[in-house]
Structure 1
Amino acid sequence: MTLEILKAKEDLRNLIDEYAYLSDEWKISEVMNLFTPDVTYKVHMNGALVADVSGRENMEQDFNFHASQVKTYFTLNGQHTTKIDGDTATGISFAQIKMIREADGKNVLTDYSVKYDDYYVKQNEKWFIKDRVAHFLIIETRSIS
């Protein structure tokens, strides 16, 4: 493995982690800067396609809508495997995402186990997410105190 490939893998891991950090802090406009302007983002929950968004502007509106319904985010990234091919790459990553919303005056925790399938591009020496498919594989919801 070359130093160039190792650097690309590190940069891509940092990209994934930055997505989590910024999302957890509701820095949606900064999250959008991690994507290409023509990004596609699909979300599957329990195997069903529930969202299909194209373009950074549409995605920002969608993310802001969802963030407006959440009191607290917490993301923990797990495995991240990439295949580098010059200025493009594919990746698979896993995350645990916890969201607290209020329902009927109570805090409700939803715990998501997510697998992301990503396609990355390198532009001007920086990596971006061009296409992302999120698979919400396990979803657990419960009231908390």
Structure 2
Amino acid sequence: MTYVEEPLFVEIGPKMNPVTAKPYTLGQRQQARIDAGMHPLSGVGAMPRLIRLAPSGTGTCGSCKHLARVGLPVGDGYRTKTFSKCTFAADRDERGRVTFAPRISNSTGTDCRRKWPACTDYQPRDDGRAA
């Protein structure tokens, strides 16, 4: 049996600069989805699916009636914080609280920004104000 004293390095594919090989930040991934004609919430949440953008000029998530401030547990589970989330197709209890929503998870990846362009599920707010 022979032992190799030096490590064996095999080059596979082109050399990559480790500085530029970092994964995108969350904001960059969300902007890339917008540029591709998809809503930033595409592929995230409890039931991931493709969400297309509405035609330009339709509105923004901030003027949609599905944008809501949802209280989610943080830290030890006894405290809650509110986050902007999309409540489209959400199930609600008798008090009107969201119990399940396909586009919500306890993650910053499903936080909804008011400035994002509207999706095809956009419905304007009844009271005419932004969230």
The TM-score normalised by the length of structure 1 is 0.26
Which structure carries more helix by proportion?
1
User: RCO (CA 8 Å, sep 6+): is it higher in 1 or 2?
Assistant: 2
Which structure carries more strand by proportion?
1
Higher-Rg structure is 2
The TM-score normalised by the length of structure 2 is 0.28
